[in-house]
Amino acid sequence: MQKIHVKRGDEVVVIAGSHKGKSGKVLEILPAKLRARIEGVAMIKRHLRKSQDHPQGAIVEREGTVHVSNLRLKSVAEAKKAKS
């Protein structure tokens, strides 16, 4: 198991990939896959089957995952930007 440089609750910036430049708080870490869920980043649509809460079923939007190698702590990113 590899050590992950971010943890739940950290403010991060996406530094690579299709969500580059977006930032948010880490909601969850998936260590087996080396991925993280970031608040408001990589939104995906999930279909819910009919239930008591959703009698017609529903399509809800929620956060997908981003690989941890594409993340940088926001404080580090701001320090690097200020240094330039």
Chain segment 44-65, per-residue pLDDT in tens: 999 999 999 999 999 999 999 9
What is the chain's length? 84
Low-confidence ranges of the chain (pLDDT < 70): 84
Domain boundaries, the chain: 11-83
Percent of the chain having pLDDT more than 70? 96
A 10 A CB-CB count for 50 gives: 10
The CATH topology of domain 11-83 is SH3 type barrels. (2.30.30)
Contact of 15 with 78, CB cutoff 8 Å:
no
| Token digits of residue 8 | 């739940």
What is the pTM for the complete model shown? 0.82
